[in-house]
């Protein structure tokens, strides 16, 4: 058997499947696109009409910002970007209407002065009530002095004369339809029990006490738009932070134009530039 032939067995590998190319990438991309569209639709279903209209503005034809050429994709769509797009600027108030409202507020201030002058026992405190017409409206300030105060010392308790004064102011403001904001201010003298109660609490409590007195006297609840306490952050006399005249309650009767402008800004509508004279 020495001369027996040597047999070499070669195993042929099983044939692999042909190269499948990049077809799977196309299928995967289609799947991802479909999922993105699905989640976008699900998100839009939960949004408000304004948000949906805003999103629709991004899927308009290229002339979306051309008011003359653009048409909406949604049924009944209007040219341009619909609500939710660029906010519409608020037009500036008419100068004539502003002047008329200033006259109304000035007349209200004069009526309050006359009624205070006709009320016996209020002559001292009446001199501490100041009226100022500003761009925001009419500001009525009850300013304290070292020897004359509207509140008990270090307290938010109104004195009897102060209650009567606020009744007169409330009766006049109830005839108007303007918003009212009450603000309390203190001097920079530390409060005696500053650990638990300080100037912030005192200023807010005094403004709130004035609000309650005015509403008891007939000021409609809907007129009051805010009660604020500023402590000593807005001193009346910056050179005399301990001066008692820094202690005051401000009653701001806001003009309709100022109130409308604030509401528009809160809604995200910028004010338009003032018209040229």
Q: Which of 79-83, 99-103, 165-169 has the lowest mean pLDDT?
A: 79-83
pLDDT per residue as tens digits for the range 49-70: 777 776 666 665 545 445 455 4
Q: Which residue has the higher pLDDT, 25 or 143?
A: 143
Q: According to the model, what pLDDT value does residue 86 have?
A: 53
Ranges of CATH 3.30.1330.60 domains, the chain: 95-263
pLDDT per residue as tens digits for the range 195-209: 788 999 999 999 999
CB 173 within 8 A of CB 219: yes
Give the Cβ contact number of residue 190 at 10 Å. Answer: 10
Q: Write a three-state SS string for 5-60.
A: CCCCCCCCCCCCCCCCCCHHHHHHHHHHHHHHHHHHHHHHHCCCHHHHHHHHHCCC
Counting beta carbons within 10 angstroms of the beta carbon of residue 178, is it exposed (0 to 12), middle (13 to 18) or buried (19 or more)?
A: buried
Q: At the topology level of CATH, where does 95-263 sit?
A: 60s Ribosomal Protein L30; Chain: A; (3.30.1330)
Q: Which of 17-31, 85-99, 172-186, 249-263 has the lowest mean pLDDT?
A: 85-99
Place of tokens 């991309």: 29
| C-alpha span between 206 and 250 (Å, rounded) | 10
pLDDT per residue as tens digits for the range 221-262: 999 999 999 999 999 999 999 999 999 999 999 998 878 777
pTM across the whole model: 0.65
């Amino acid at each position: 058997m020495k001369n027996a032939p040597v047999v070499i067995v070669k195993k042929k590998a099983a044939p692999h499947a042909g190269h499948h190319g990049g077809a799977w990438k196309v299928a995967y991309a289609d799947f991802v696109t479909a999922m993105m569209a699905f989640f976008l639709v699900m998100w839009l279903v939960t949004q408000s009409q304004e948000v949906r209209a805003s999103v629709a503005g991004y899927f308009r034809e290229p002339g979306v910002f051309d008011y003359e050429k653009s048409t909406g994709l949604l049924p009944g769509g209007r040219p341009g970007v619909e609500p939710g797009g660029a906010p519409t600027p608020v037009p500036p108030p008419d100068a004539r209407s502003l002047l008329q409202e200033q006259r109304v507020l000035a007349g209200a201030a004069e009526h309050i002065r006359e009624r205070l002058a006709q009320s016996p026992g209020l002559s001292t405190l009446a001199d501490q009530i100041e009226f100022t017409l500003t761009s925001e409206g009419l500001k009525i300030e009850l300013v304290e002095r070292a020897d004359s105060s509207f509140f008990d010392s270090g307290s938010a308790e109104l004195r009897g004369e102060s209650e009567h004064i606020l009744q007169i102011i409330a009766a006049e403001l109830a005839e108007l339809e303007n918003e009212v904001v009450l603000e309390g201010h203190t001097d920079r003298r530390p409060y005696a029990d500053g650990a638990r109660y300080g100037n912030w609490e005192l200023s807010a409590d005094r403004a709130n006490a004035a609000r309650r007195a005015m509403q008891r006297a007939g000021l409609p609840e809907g007129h009051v738009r805010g009660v604020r306490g500023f402590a000593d952050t807005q001193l009346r006399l910056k050179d005399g932070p301990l001066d008692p005249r820094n202690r005051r309650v401000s009653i701001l009767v806001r003009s309709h134009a100022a109130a409308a402008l604030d509401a528009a800004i809160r809604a995200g509508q910028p004010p338009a530039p003032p018209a040229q004279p």
